Amino acid sequence: MAEEDKTKTTFTTMWGTFCYRVMPFGLKNAEATYQRAMVTLFHDLMHKEVEVYVDDMIAKSKEGEDHLVNLKRLFNRLKEYKLRLNPAKCTFGTRSGKLLGFVVSEPVSR
């Protein structure tokens, strides 16, 4: 969250006045703002090597040897913009997995 926007999230409790340091998803436009940011950051990779929907992300490839290249590009982009992944929520090297509640696999999604 930009420093100048932190004051816009200020709230007061009996323990003091606080503001968010990162954007919480509970704010009215937070989800749309986050998705727009992800599209902006990954625009050249989306629908080819990466799919992003809010905080769900998948790296994909048609050929196995391309997958490591695609992952490296994704990780470099994440690092460039100081974004972090939660390792507990990551799965690597699988031919199928869940994305947005659907099982995505080759050649079809269910």
Strand bridging mode 102-105 / 96-99: antiparallel
Helices and strands of the chain, counted as H and E runs:
2, 6
Q: What is the pTM of this model?
A: 0.69
The per-residue pLDDT for range 19-38, each reduced to its tens digit, is: 888 877 777 787 888 889 89
CB 25 within 8 A of CB 13: no
Q: How far apart are CA 43 and CA 37, in angstroms?
A: 10
Contacts 24+ apart (CB under 8 A), 72-76: 73/45, 73/49, 74/42, 74/45, 74/49, 74/50
The per-residue pLDDT for range 47-105, each reduced to its tens digit, is: 988 888 877 888 888 877 888 899 999 999 999 999 999 999 888 878 777 777 888 77
